[in-house]
Amino acid sequence: MPIKDMMPTPKIGYVELHRPGQWTIFSLFFVIIFVIIFAISSFASLSISLLPCLFVILPIIILLIDVRSRRRVLKAKKLDELATQLQKLSLRWLYFKSGKGITPWQREELGLPQTIADSSMKEAVEQICIPQGLVEPELVRTSKPGTILGCIFGGLFALFFVAIGISLIMNSRNPTMSISGWVITLAMLWNLPRLILGLPILHRSRNMPPLLRAIGRGKIIGKSFVAGPGWVKFGKDVWRCDRDMLLIRRTGYRSASAEIECLLVGPEKRRGLKFSGLQDDDFKILFGAWHVDDMRFEFIESELS
pLDDT of 288 > 50? The answer is yes
Mean pLDDT of 83-103: 90
Instruction: DSSP letter for 255, please.
Output: -
- Give the least confident one: 42-56, 185-199, 214-228: 42-56
Percent of the chain with pLDDT over 90: 45
Are 161 and 192 contacting, i.e. CB atoms less than 8 angstroms apart? no
Read off the pLDDT band of 44 (50, 70, 90): low
Are 231 and 241 contacting, i.e. CB atoms less than 8 angstroms apart? yes
pLDDT of 61 > 50? The answer is yes
Are 38 and 54 contacting, i.e. CB atoms less than 8 angstroms apart? yes
* pLDDT score, position 4: 36
* pLDDT score, position 40: 63
Task: Report the distance separating Cα 279 and Cα 287, nearest Å.
Answer: 11
Task: Report the distance separating Cα 300 and Cα 128, nearest Å.
Answer: 24
* pLDDT score, position 7: 46
Mean pLDDT of 253-282: 93
Task: Report the distance separating Cα 223 and Cα 65, nearest Å.
Answer: 32
Are 162 and 170 contacting, i.e. CB atoms less than 8 angstroms apart? no
> Per the confidence metrics, is the pTM higher than 0.85?
no
